[in-house]
Structure 1
Amino acid sequence: MRPNTLRLLRRYHHYLGLFFAPMILLFAISGALQTFRLQEAKGYGGPPPNWIVWLASVHKDQGPPREPRAEKPKPAGEAAKPRVEAPRTGPKRPSPLPLKIFVVLLAIALAISTIMGIVIALANRAMRRVSIVLLMLGTVVPIVLLWV
């Protein structure tokens, strides 16, 4: 590849990386929390903190948490019937824990890598102002879009 092409690619990588870095951090953290279902009462062991519920809602639904919908009342005959589940048959499923641990490690590595990229970008004095503006835009634009 020609040197000018590589320089141009590096510049675009710099711009895109800084603009999307705040959201990459948000999604890495919220994804790690959701891996163990910490946004749910059963995963947290009680009512989860609001900030975890909020992050999960942004991650999964691209919006702030909504009020839970009221369930439709069931006909009188259906409410009294107990739900009977069929016994599970077939081969035993492998434990999801090793993959969950790997996913959390992946999220941590992505967050650390993103922070290192931001530090490296801000160390470049020639592009520091542009870098700061891109970081601010990458933070403000999603917040504005969240409430539009």
Structure 2
Amino acid sequence: MNPAQLNRLLRKIHLYVSVFFAPLLLFYGLTGAIQVLHLHEARGGTYTPPAVVEKLAQVHIHQRYAEKPKRPAPAASAQKAPEKPKAAEPERKEPPAMGVLKAILFLSGLGLAGSSIAGVWISLLIPRGRKLALGLLAAGSVLPVLLVVLVS
């Protein structure tokens, strides 16, 4: 096989593998961006995430479509020990670089999602192999959803 044929073959393989995995890349890019901002967690009683966001985060983290399990309440003992006064907890400050890191991670999630969409768009512009690309895109969209439903 000459280098030109090998190059064409590798590009074709790359195209079809990419189209198959694009829906998962889109999913992980968007849910990862949501998690960087902690939009999947309740915080201090002031914010409650929508149930679908919590469930999608569970797919991202634990591969199951379910709400985050609630921690059981501490067991009330018959005799309570006298509570010690708690010292005021010092305010935890994030290092200055943390904001920059979060911004980069958030943007990388959005970039991964956008790149996946652009790649699918470009692949569907190629007339030769469009039906196979559409089939792989459909399979890459449906198969993970079916598997998550089966294991949840």
Q: Deviation above 6 Å: which 4+ runs of structure 1?
A: 85-88
- Cα deviation for residue 77 of structure 1 reads 5.4
Cα displacement string for residues 37-74 of structure 1 (whole angstroms, at most 9, x for unaligned residues):
11111189411112211211110111112453534515
The structure with the greater share of residues assigned to helix is 1
Matching residue's letter, 2:4: P
The question of 1:25 aligning with 2:26 is answered: yes
Q: CA RMSD in A?
A: 2.6
> In the superposition, relative to structure 1, how do residues 129 and 97 fare at CA in structure 2: closer, same or farther (>3 Å)?
same
- Report the TM-score when normalising by structure 1: 0.84
Q: 1:98, 1:43 → 2: CA distance? A: 24
The equivalent of 2:48 in structure 1 is 47
Of the three residues 133, 137, 141, the one matched with 1:139 is 141
> In the superposition, relative to structure 1, how do residues 110 and 85 fare at CA in structure 2: closer, same or farther (>3 Å)?
farther
Cα displacement string for residues 105-124 of structure 1 (whole angstroms, at most 9, x for unaligned residues):
11111111111100100001
Of the three residues 116, 122, 127, the one matched with 1:114 is 116
Q: 1:104, 1:97 → 2: CA distance? A: 10
Structure 2, unmatched stretches of 5+, are: none
Among the aligned pairs, what percent are the same residue? 33
> In the superposition, relative to structure 1, how do residues 112 and 36 fare at CA in structure 2: closer, same or farther (>3 Å)?
same
- 1:1-148 aligned at under 5 Å gives the runs 2-42=3-43, 45-66=46-67, 67-71=69-73, 73-76=75-78, 81-82=83-84, 84=86, 94-95=95-96, 96-148=98-150
Structure 1, unmatched stretches of 5+, are: none
Q: 2:28, 2:3 → 1: CA distance? A: 35
Q: 1:44, 1:10 → 2: CA distance? A: 51
